[in-house]
Structure 1
Amino acid sequence: MRFRNKPWATDFIAENSFYCIPDPENQKGKWNEIFGNNNPIHIEVGTGKGTFVTEMAKANPTINYIGIELFESVIVKALEKAVAADIPNVKLLNVNAQKLADYFEAGEVDRVYLNFSDPWPKTRHEKRRLTYKGFLDLYKEVLVPQGEIHFKTDNRGLFEYSLMSFSEYGLLLKYVSLDLHNSEFEGNIMTEYEEKFSSKGFPIYRCEVKYPE
């Protein structure tokens, strides 16, 4: 996927370091200090344009949210939303999720959100899927004991793969829906992709899993 270059993005990110943390590796183990409280920390890996993470932060002021996005030209859109929302419980990291353990101490994160991740459908790209066992190892490193992963996608193939990956890893299934928007689930906050795909009539798949003791 190609992203349009935004020449102003670097300066805008630098000017808003309150929201987009410039040196997250130096904040490892200090995120509660950054937020100024001891509230739980939830991270979204692949936060995209930031609708989900900012709306979750608005809806849940006693939870701290961190959105992680690799591409500068994408995270700057999330940053615009965070600045406009003017809320203290959301931060953004313009980093590679493969280095999560460089930014968080063991047990520093309470929950991981994976929303509409790239399905990487070719078998040779399996290791790039955010529900691959290598990533599950990473999440386990930073999550509290029995920490949770909440996963949403419109891609049935990725959902089936992920359920199998979770099961083979030994994660415990707490919730599963094959059609989220026609379920009894309450409090769903949609991402940009979710709004797009659901408006076309595509079912949204969702599950919650947790690590065993």
Structure 2
Amino acid sequence: MRVRHKPWAKDKLLNHPEFVVTDPKSHIGEWQSIFKSACPIHVEIGTGKGQFITNMAKQNPDINFVGIEIHESVIVSALDKCINSQLKNVRLINGDANELTDFFSENEVAAIYLNFSDPWPKNRHEKRRLTYRSFLAQYEYVLNSKGRICLKTDNQGLFEYSLESFSKYGLYLQNVSLNLHQSHYKEENVMTEYEEKFSSQGHRIYRCEACFSE
């Protein structure tokens, strides 16, 4: 993804602590106190401009959402959506998914969303894919016993790789769709910016959920 640099983004993120958690490592194990509620915590890795997470938060006020995005010039757009909506159940982290177990404690998370992640198609970049086994190990640690990973992508190669990676790691697959927008799952689907763009171009959208226990 080509990111247009916004030199003012860092200061804006710092100026909105009501939505942006600037030192997530200091809150490990205490996220429900940040939200001041005992609602389940759902995490989106690669929040982008925030359309998915803010719409999910609006539709699910009984769930607390945390969006992680490494690019400050991108996540600032998600912050704008939070400000405009004044959502109480969303927090943002401008950080790296490689540090997930530094942000959340064991069993602290109920769901992880991987929406249109970078496919990293070259073999030498396999370890960067968010469904590589080292990431799955982090997800296993932070997810509770009933937690799930929810994957959506338009990239068939990444989807096939992810299904194989999930299976090799011992995860259980659920609600698999090879054409989300032509399936019954579309009724509850919340689209991302990329999803709207790709589906309008006729791209097929793939979806699945994976759990560490049946």
**TM-score where L is the length of structure 1:** 0.98
Inter-partner Cα distance in structure 1 for 2:208 and 2:174: 7
Q: Which amino acid aligns with 1:119?
A: P
Alignment partner, residue 2 of structure 2 = 2
Alignment partner, residue 98 of structure 2 = 98
Alignment partner, residue 152 of structure 1 = 152
Q: Percent identity?
A: 57
Inter-partner Cα distance in structure 1 for 2:9 and 2:204: 34
Inter-partner Cα distance in structure 2 for 1:129 and 1:22: 25
Alignment partner, residue 194 of structure 1 = 195
Inter-partner Cα distance in structure 1 for 2:5 and 2:194: 20
Alignment partner, residue 161 of structure 1 = 161
1:23 shift after superposition: 0.9
Inter-partner Cα distance in structure 1 for 2:134 and 2:101: 13
Root-mean-square deviation (CA, aligned residues, Å) is: 0.9
Alignment partner, residue 140 of structure 2 = 140
1:22 shift after superposition: 1.0
1:139 shift after superposition: 0.6
1:159 shift after superposition: 0.3
Inter-partner Cα distance in structure 2 for 1:22 and 1:120: 28
Alignment partner, residue 58 of structure 2 = 58
What do the CA deviations read for 1:151-173 (whole angstroms, capped 9, x no partner)?
00000010000000000011001
What do the CA deviations read for 1:60-115 (whole angstroms, capped 9, x no partner)?
00000000000111111111111111010000000111001111110100000000
Q: After TM superposition, what 4+ stretches of structure 1 lie above 2 angstroms from structure 2?
A: none
What do the CA deviations read for 1:151-201 (whole angstroms, capped 9, x no partner)?
000000100000000000110011100000010112110000000000011
Inter-partner Cα distance in structure 2 for 1:208 and 1:131: 12
1:2 shift after superposition: 2.9
SS in 2 for 1:198: helix
Inter-partner Cα distance in structure 2 for 1:121 and 1:11: 34
Inter-partner Cα distance in structure 2 for 1:63 and 1:93: 17
**Gaps in structure 2 of 5+ consecutive residues:** none
**Gaps in structure 1 of 5+ consecutive residues:** none
The number of residues matched between the two structures is 213
Alignment partner, residue 109 of structure 1 = 109
SS in 2 for 1:13: helix
Does 1:82 pair with 2:82? yes
1:146 shift after superposition: 3.3
**TM-score where L is the length of structure 2:** 0.98
Alignment partner, residue 206 of structure 1 = 207
Alignment partner, residue 23 of structure 2 = 23
Inter-partner Cα distance in structure 1 for 2:10 and 2:94: 11
Q: Which amino acid aligns with 1:202?
A: H
